Amino acid sequence: RLDGGTSRWIYSKQPLGHEVYAADFDAGGNLASFRQMLTEKEIYEARPGVWTKQDVAQRFGLPREPVQYYPLMKREAWSYRLYASGYQPAHFSAYFDDRGVLDRTMIIIDALGGDRGRSK
């Protein structure tokens, strides 16, 4: 459930796919929007220091890759695959402090992921 009586269904192609889709339904059960969530535009709307794990899960779904914990940083990391700039395989990571508050986000290009435009 989201604010205003709307609800969101998440359709994830993770962990090997690069998309997460959100279908938003209004209070009457009608489809209000359907969009790909793992875009740089959506990721840049994340608000470190404000968002919690629940906010990230509502936006991108729960992670399908193993959750990592970095003891020296005292941060938990959720990771998602995406195409950065529309075509480069990459990983989006959301880091949470011990209170479950978003600390930072990061997009890292996957150098081994190849380029969809190249032939084999």
Question: Which of 118, 1, 116, 119 is closest to 57 using CA atoms?
Answer: 1
Classify residue 10: in a domain, yes or no: yes
Domain that holds residue 102: 3-109
* Residue 87's pLDDT band (cuts 50, 70, 90): confident
Classify residue 20: in a domain, yes or no: yes
CATH of the domain at 17: 3.30.1450
Classify residue 117: in a domain, yes or no: no
- Residue 119 DSSP class: -
Rounded distance between C-alpha atoms, residue 117 and residue 119, angstroms: 7
pLDDT of residue 61: 96
pLDDT of residue 119: 45
